[in-house]
Structures are given as structure tokens and as C-alpha cells.
Chains A and B, each alone.
Chain A
Amino acid sequence: MPKRGDIKKILIIGSGPIIIGQACEFDYSGTQACKALREEGYEVILVNSNPATIMTDPDMADVTYIEPLTSEILEMIIEKERPDALLPTMGGQTALNLTVELCELGVVDKYGIKLIGAGLDAIVKAENREQFKHSMERIGLEIPRSVAVTTVEEGMRAVEYVRFPAILRPAFTLGGTGGGVAYNLEEYGALLKNALDLSPVTQVLIEESVIGWKEYELEVMRDNADNVVIICSIENFDPMGVHTGDSITVAPVQTLTDKEYQRMRDASIAIIREIGVDTGGSNIQFALSPETGRMLVIEMNPRVSRSSALASKATGFPIAKIAAKLAVGLRLDEIPNDITRETPASFEPTIDYVVTKIPRFAFEKFPEAEPILTVAMKSVGEVMAIGRTFKESLQKAMRSLEADTYGFEKPDETLNEKALMLKLKEPNSERLWFIGEAIRRGYTVDAINSVTKVDPWFLNNIKEIIDFEEQLSDMALHVKNLSDIDSGLLRKAKESGFSDRRLSELLKTDEDTVRVLRKLRGIIPVYKIVDTCGAEFKARTPYLYSTYERPFYKISEDTTDRAEIHAISACEANPTDRKKIVILGSGPNRIGQGIEFDYCCVQAVYALKELGYETIMINCNPETVSTDYDTSDRLYFEPLTIEDVLSIIDVEKPEGVIVQFGGQTPLKLAVPLEKAGVRVLGTSPDAIDRAEDRARFKDLLHKLNLKQPLSGIARSVEEALRTADGIGYPVMLRPSYVLGGRAMEIVYDSESLYDYMGRAVKVSHEKPVLVDKYLEDAIEVDVDAISDGTKVIVGGVMEHIEEAGIHSGDSACSLPPYSLHPRIVNEIKEQTKALALELRVIGLMNVQFAVKEDEIYILEVNPRASRTVPFVSKATGVSIAKLAAKIMAGRTLDELGVTKEPVIKHIAVKESVLPFGRFPGVDTILGPEMKSTGEVMGIDVDFGLAYAKAQASAYNRIPMAGKIFISVRDKDKHSCVEIARTFIKNGFTIAATKGTTEFLQGQGIEAEPVNKVNEGLRPHIVDLIKSKEINFIINTISDSKSKQDSQSIRTSALTYKIPYATTISAARAVANAVEMLKSNKVGIKSIQEYHKTASGL
């Protein structure tokens, strides 16, 4: 069937900011969809609020809007662009929900838009629990006993039928937010209320618990001729009860016979047909009783998903790309398989390896949150590894996590038996290692299975690894020399996936020694191709993974001597003779290192391709665009450890390696790589060290005559106390070499400092703690610049909305600055240039400044790509990452025609998106430790409007009427006056705590006093929040005591979705935005239009 001729223009909705449950896998799918549809000749209109995506690159779609993902804005875009069709299945739950909303509002009908991929009926049938249940009944499939309820009363009745333990699943929430398991009536009541509240349609499914059952997922595709294929099957290591996004998962299924697998396959096909997904991919989850094999359908996602991204990377079958083509009417058998080229996409991939995904968590960022895993997703990223056996795959995945683990290290050895059992019983992010420890301590597989419900097949594999570890340790004790170690055993260890690092621990030596010994014995990895077909056809796409395979050999009847025999290693890497550069990716997403760095890596690939280089990507994050085999010329899906990277470099022999774009992950490898004789492109590792090392950095600033807040280094608790006294409180404390503000805190007195040193860090001579003067109320400024060593161009100067001290990743910022004097901005630029030249930066550099009372202080210099690079690029239309990559390959700014810094006529505001809703009990106050998962951009002609858009994009409602509650520390009271006036002028009323009320009244502002919670009088502020009498909250705090006192305000604001500001600057920006919104209508403009009006470069 030919592709549809009745549509020409297609609207794609992106998934918005990175949040838990919806991450950069939707950049991957959206980017693929844009490329696929344009390849077929369609015009693509793209809307996404997330500037850190590749999909919002101006040349990815024909017209790109970085605008809030709300139905009002979308209607404006539809009215302007008049698309013929809307593809709702690429942007996760966000796009699906918006599509439903647009249909219900009549927008889709009004403009005659065709939904392609999945129609409204299919979306609703799959998403609405009640309808889904009826659909499954119709095709004779079982689902867990369940009742959908919309009120607490209904819920109480429902549980009598469902029985405990009961699972609560709110409808239409992301990653199952608000879901939970209740074991008794009390727990149930609390969960029910919360779940009803979180569901946008106030509907919750009360469901029979199948906790501990085996969990499976199938990725299904269907075309409009009703051809259905299964792309990938996935078996979860963690049984039912842990959200699949938080589970370790393995592809393909391991413990099902063909009969059982086909039964699941048949069910999946019946489901996609019954739900009526016309074309494209769906993800279907099943639970299976380990005792009887009873199979229940858990859920179906009628769109591409995190799992489909994983499945695409796991099999080499690009689900989103094919789904986009199917949506415009092509059939599976009309689309070629990219990898074999000669066979069509109408087949089921078969794989000849095992894929393991392990999620990455960020509980260390939220110490108040309970680090246990439930049916609501909490992980912030994931890694995938490929190995020929599960053991190899698992151990590769473990070291890919970059969580200071290289295998089954012993967890806390002091853990007693009872504590260990609890760690096994309650799913948690380190359970895998605790299972290893339990085996080490002699627990049987049966015993561990009965506690964890993890399938014995997985457990026995882990047992083999642990047993092997013991064999290795034993041997280390018995051989005199390491060189006496049996080659066969060493090879077997590598075949089982042991890292050199873990082997060195077991053999009581160091990693380099293991590597040298191993290479001496010829034990080196071979690379195999991910080819969708188990080698049945020749693969054309170099998508590679490493494995250890025994060499074989060839003889003839005349062969006389084994010495003549030449060992053959079947390595499929086949490196080319082209000039080539390796780009190291950023590994798993985590707070502090997310999609922004993947964006930079992908830009580097594009840039180097333009210069004619062969690009080689190494990364282990399945969610990303960088690990699309279509992005770089060659893709190695490998852990980013020195061992794995060096092995690839041995084979590829590139001209150089780029470590600047992937954040801290590759940067950490700069020195070891250089030591191993690898050419690190761009800024020298020594310059990086000069910027990172406190003492050297101090000298550098001294040399350039630049200011820095008073600071000191402490190598002991006593030294820290002494230093802080010398500098004067408040001080900012942080461990050296951190990203994302890990364990960074501001302390106001010696008592808090003492507490911090005991709690947050293990200080030592090698790992000192940095003590900096905290500049209160300073304005923070971020600058991104590019340098070729002789010339520097500033890409963008960003003024933060929140004051210095709030992590730059968590604060909003404005490009260009909205309040700084031009003289200051110029001075900042000059200082940036001086720093870049002194450090001989080749490529990107980011500098953080603080401005206080017209004095400029330098907080930090990072000679590498920063988190703000994509934001700057989208705001200005200049891809500074691309330019930087070209400079690192030897071009100069002059050669690239870059002479002036970009100047824009609009304002772009970046806002952060925080995951507090996921971590009950965590205070929402911002601080020096980064907590945001993603970002959005608001862009308009005026700061107020741009800020308002950024807030809308970040799902923070700007209040347009009602009551403002103010509770601020003394020093903020003056600043509140003007803000309160602005609100009153725009029709708001003010409520405040007694102290603030008196102060405001003294300034002639009408304010009504409200009781504090700890004053004991009712109604207090939390009562007002609950009864929805408050529309906006301004709450700042001075110390940890006031923080404790007011936490209930912020928690209830979060729960009841009342917008709030925890800094005066943010409150001011909101007031400003309200004023602008009252007098102006928000408009829309594509970034291509914005960029046209920008000048420079």
C-alpha cells in the first residue's frame, strides 16, 4: 500500500521536560519520527518545551515550536500551521494526554485533523482501566481482579471484592505516580485518597496484588494491513511489585518454553487488534504465576515507550522510525530492514546475545525519601549491556552504571543477617548486590527465591558468578606469581563478564596488571554486530558490542603440527582506514548529568561528520539519540570504563578521543586515557585539572587578578571548623570533584558544619572538603563560551533568577540577562575570555559567576560542555557544541567564520523541573545540591512572558487571581513589599504570617494574618491550603529551624498543587509574569522565526 497522499503536514507532540518516568527515550523516538516522516516527503511541525533535545534542533523538523505543552498553545499552533494530521504516539504520556484533551475540546475536529498511528478510541480503550478490562474480557484474557473507583466510598467497597494485598493504580498518571500496595485498611485509605487526587480524571484502579509473580513485556507492531509482529520480548529480573522502569530487565525471555511464549505472543496480537491501534508500536505487560503459569495481562501502552526504546536498542529494530512510517500508510513489508538492507521490516528480530537493563537511581539526592522500590517509578536513568551470556551481560551492565561498581563487590560487611534479609525482602536499588552477598554467605538459591521471588534461573546465574569469584580468590592465595594464573581460567572469567577491575580485587592486584597480563595471554575481546537476525544475513550497520569468545582454527588433512595452526578470532569490528574520532557518551542519565550531555555528544557527531571524519560513539544508555545506530558512523554499545574504552581504541585506532561533551563520565577518563597514550582532543586534561583543583585554581585566578569568594580547603573536621571561622559564616561546603552539587550544603554556624562533616562526607587527605564563603543574595550568572586557543566567543550569558547558592541546575535563568547592568555583563565576558585563553581552552567552557554589589566573583570554571549548552543553542540559533567539536578537530574560529557573539532580540528563560512529587517526605526547598531532572524553555519578546511560558512548560501554574500567602525571613521582608503591591494591583489579596502581616501593614499593604501550624490555633495555613483558599505561596527560610517549621506548608503546597516560590527572586518573576499575562496575550513563534531575527556568527 503506498503512503498516504491525503496528508502533507504532520504535527508531532514531544514529551516535554525530562521527568521520572518520561526521559530522553522520547527524544530518541521523536527524532526518529521527524527523520522518517521527512524522508517520506512529509512536512513536520514539532512542538516540545524541552530545549535539551535533539528533536528541537532547528533542522530536525520543518517548523519547530519550543512552547508550553498545553492545549491552548497547541490550538494556537494548529490554527497557524493547519496540519493535516497529528501523530500522538511519539511523545509519551504527555502527548497522548494532550491529544485526548484536544479531541475532547473539539480542536481536532474543528481543524479537520486526522489522528494517525492511534485513534482516540484506541487511546482511551488502552488508558481507561474500565474499558481496558472489558476489552480483555472480550478476547478471553484474564486481568487481575479489579474495580475502577472514582470516590473514596467506592474504593472502600471495592477492596472487599479485590481483597488484600491490593494495588492502587491511578489512571493517566506518569510512571504509575501515586500508585502503591496496601496490606491493610489503614494503609489503603491513605493511598486511595492520594491516588484519587493524583489522577487527572480522579479514577483509580483497585487491583488484586500479583506481587512476586514473574513479569514480562512484549513489544508489538502493527501495520494498516493488520500484519502484526513482535519486536522483542523482555523478562523482568525483579518480579511484579516493582515498577518495570525500576526493574532489572533482560531480553529475550529466558524461562518460558516455546508453548508459553507463543501463548503470550498470541495474546499480544489479540490485544493490539482489540484495542485497535491502527499502526505502530505498543508495549504489553504480563504477569505469570511462577507456580501455575496463570497469565494475566497487566497493561498496554498504545505508543512508543521507554521499553520500546530499549527494545529498539536491544534488537537493532528501530521501532519509532518504523512506527512513523506505518502511520503514513506504509506496510511492514514495504519498509526495508536498515541493518540487513535486503530483508523487509515484516519479521521478528532474533537475537544471539542477552541484553540486560539496570535502572539508575538517585536516592542519595533525597536522603529523606525511603529508598525502596514500589509500583511507582523512582529511577532517573538506565543502562543497557549486551553480552553473549546472561552472566556477561549482567556484569557489563553493572559496571555501566558508573556507580562505583565493577561487579559483585561486597556491600556493607557489617550488615547482620536480619538486616540482610530485609534488604532482600524489600526491593531496593542495591538488591542485586545483596543477593550476591547472601549467596556468598551461604544462603541457598531456594532461600533467596522464597524471600525475593526473583526467578531461580537468575539467582543460579549469580551463584555461578559468586562461586567463580571464590575460585579466583582461592587461586590468588595459592599461586606465587600472578603470571602463574591459568589462561583458561582467566579467559573463562572474561567470558563470564568479569571486569579487569573486579578481577584485580579478587586477585589482589591492580587493574593495569590484570590488563597487561590478559593482553599478554591474547585474551582480548571480539566485537559482534547487533544485526536483528542472529547472523542469518550479512549486517550492513556497524552497531557493535564486545564479548569474549574462544578463538577457533582451521586445519587440513596435511596439517602436521599445532604450531602451524593459526587461531581465528571472529571479530566483526572491521575498522576502516578513514580518519576517525571517538566520542565518549555520558552513560546513564542521573540528576546532574542528563539529556543535555547526550545532546552535546550528538552535536559533536554531526559536526565531525561534516568535516569528513568517521565518528565512533561509545555509550551504554539505551534511551538516547547517541545510541541510535543511525547517529554516528559506528556505534559501540559498551560500558564507559577505562577497560572497555581502551579495548575499543586498540581496535579502532582513532586520531583522538573527545571527552568534553559527555559530562563527568568521560571527563573522568581523560587522565587515564592520556596516560595510556590516547590523544585526548581539545582542552588538555592538565587544563581541566587546573580548573578543578582548588589550589591550582586559586593560583590561576590570582594570576589573572580575578576575584573569588574567600575559600579554604579542609582535610579534617577540625580544619574545616578553623577555616570556616576564618572566612566567616555562612559558608558553602562541598567535596572536591563533584557534579550536580552532590553533597553540597550551605551552613550558617559551626554546629551545622560539624553535623555536615559527620553526615555528608568522608573527609580525607586525598578527598578534601572545600569551604567557600557563601555570598548571600548574590546574582548568579552562567556563561558558555567557545575558544580555539587564541580567540574566544561567548555563546551566551545567563542571569539566574534564583540567587547564588541555589544549584545552577535547579534555578531558572534568563538569556540575555534581564536585570544586570550592561557594564557588568561586559566585564563578565572579558573575564570569561581571559580565563579561556589562560587555560588554553580548545572547545567549550562554562563559567559560573556571582555578582554582589557590583562586584564579580568567580564560582566555578568548567572547561567542558555544560548543562546549558543546548539551551544557549536553542535560544540563539547557534550550535556552540557543533562549533566546539570542529575546533577540537583542529579548525579555528576564523576558519569556521565565527567572528561575533550571537545577539538576540527575544528573551529565553530556562526553568528546571523537580521530581519532588515522586519522593514523599522530601522538602521542596532549593539548595546547592541539584535535584531537578529536566528543564524547559520559555521564549518570547519580553522577560515576563518568557518566564510565564517557562512556568507553564514546567507545569507550574501562574496564578491569575485569588489569595497570595507570604511567609518570609526577616531580610526578605522589604523585598516583599513591591511584590505584594504588584499582586494587589492585579486583583489579588494577601495573607501572611503574623510577623509579615504587621510588617506589610506598616508599609500600607493590606494583609490578613494567618496562623502558623506550630502556633496551635486553627485554621492554620495548611488548613487553608487544603481547603484551596490559597492560590500562590511565597515562602523563604533563614535556617534549618525555620525550614523544619515551614516544611508542612511546602509539602501541602506540593500535594494540593498550589504553585509556590521558595526564593524572593522567583516570587518577583511570578509577579512580573502575572502582570504581563494580564495585559498581553501570549503569542507563539517557531524557533526558526526567532533565529532569523538573531544576529552574529
Chain B
Amino acid sequence: MSLAGDISAGTPRIHLSKDMQQLIYRLLAAGLLCVALSVATDAFFTTNNILNVLRQASLLFFLASGLTLVILTGGLDLSVGANIGLSACLAATVIKATGSPALGTLTGLATGCAIGVCNGLMVAKLRIPSFIATYGMLWVLHGLTYYYMAGETIHGFPPGFRQIGSGYFLGIPIPVYLMIGFLIAGTVFAQRTVWGQQIYAIGANPVAARLTGIPVDRRLILVYAFSGAMAGVASIVFLARLNSAEGDIGEAMTLPAIAAVLIGGASLFGGVGSVFGTFVGALILTLVLNGMNLLAVNSSWQPLVTGVIVIFAVWLDMIGRKRS
């Protein structure tokens, strides 16, 4: 295709034409899934179910969108799931103790962000590989949360606060608005701002980035802080939606979040990926679960079906990338 004619491999800069082509291929997998499900069951293609899928995808997206920036720099944040756990439990405690959802929300966001800054400092200043730094952080957070909660749950929050997770505005769930907001903000930040472009550049070639005068350390701290803060956002929406906090709530979410980013076309080596791609990745993972539930796929087959669809979606994407 002539659209992508001027692109040389490994260029960190973003060219919309190439992006567009890849996005079409990426959406192809999600689109095929939707078509297949629409044919298979009447319950799939209804306004209710589409909103249902979007709302379910939002939690995963919040977590994965911050993580996308980290992966763009060639790093990894394994602590996001554990981060949700601690942020949610502290936020819940504050809401219960003060009766103020605003203070609780602030606590959740601040906790998430502070954890992210710690990760960033370890990676940027102490030069600890991100996998190890955030893996260590995962255990520290689990340890703190389990100790603090001692196997208990905190539940029952004010109805006003619960609107964040379970409310509607003009017939559309609030978390869907939040997701669209973060999707736009994240895309603009990554593609249209100097800082965003610097993040791509760091991932594509950290040495070159340093030599061209990009403040690499500060940008690294920034992306981990974003990742932590988004885990904080997820923790608040989680609380508002589930009406309950327990120590292990984020545990099962780390791997799906990483998977959403990678299904969305990001590379673990950095420099490649987009927030929109991650949105599609989160959507595909959510669609798989939704489809299996609607079709009542036997529980014995569900892990296998999930695996096959994920591999198939990424394979489609690879074909797309070779073509462009």
C-alpha cells in the first residue's frame, strides 16, 4: 500500500496512515467476533448488551491504559493488580471512617499514584529492571493489603458514591463515559504532545533518547505514576461497582491487563503500541467472556476457547502489520 511508503522500520515517530491500517486490522478481529456472536445468539447485538460489554471492558481498560504507557517505554508494571487491592481497601476505609466519598476517592487515587511514583523511582533512579521492581512491589502491596485486611471485607458505600460505578447518564453507564474520556485523553497525550512522543522515543531507543536531550528519568517516573494513578482510578470504579473491598480484588486482573495491551498491538520491547489499541484489546477479552456466557459454553471448554481466540486475534493483527 502506498499509504505507508515512507516508513522505515524502527522509526519511533507515529504516522497516522500506518496507524490507520493497523487499527483496521486490529478492529477486524473484534469485528469478526461481534459478527460471529450476532449470528450465534440474538442476545448479543442489543443496545443493552453492547453497553454491558463496554461497561465491563472499562475496568480492564483503566488498568491497561496506564500500563500501555509503561510498555511503550519498554518497561512493564506487574504491580497494577496489587495496586488496585491496596488502593481500594484504603479508599474504602476512609469512606467508612469519614463518610466522605470525595476523601475516599482522593485516598484511592493518591495511593495508586504514590505506588506508581515508587515504581518509577526504582526503575529510573535505582536502575532496577522494571519487571523485578514491580514484581517486588506486587509482593510488598499484597503483604500490606493482606495484613491490613486480615481476611475481612469492607462493604456498603453511600449511594452517591456508587453512581461512579453503577450509575447512568442519558441511558449510558457512567464508567463508559469515564472510559471514553480516558481513551481520548490518553490518545491525545501519547500521539499529540511532546511528552507523549518522547515516551515513544524512549521505548524505541533509550540511548538515542538520552542523547537527544529527552529527560528520560523524569518521563519514566511519569509513566509509572500514570500507571499507578490509573490503577487508583480502577480501584475507585471497582469499589463503586462492587460495593465491597477485599484484599485480593485485583489479583486476577494483572495478566489480563498486560494481555489487553499486547493484544492491542503493543510490543514488550517498547516504542510500539497505542492507547486505542489497548482499548480494542480490552474489548476483545471482554467480548470473549460475554460470548461464552451468552452461548453458555461449558466451563470445561472456556479456558481453551479464550486461548484460541486470543491467539487468533493477534495472528490477524500480525498479518495486518506485514501488509502495511
Q: Do A and B bind each other?
A: no
Name B residues whose Cβ lies closer than 8 Å to a Cβ of A: none
Name A residues whose Cβ lies closer than 8 Å to a Cβ of B: none
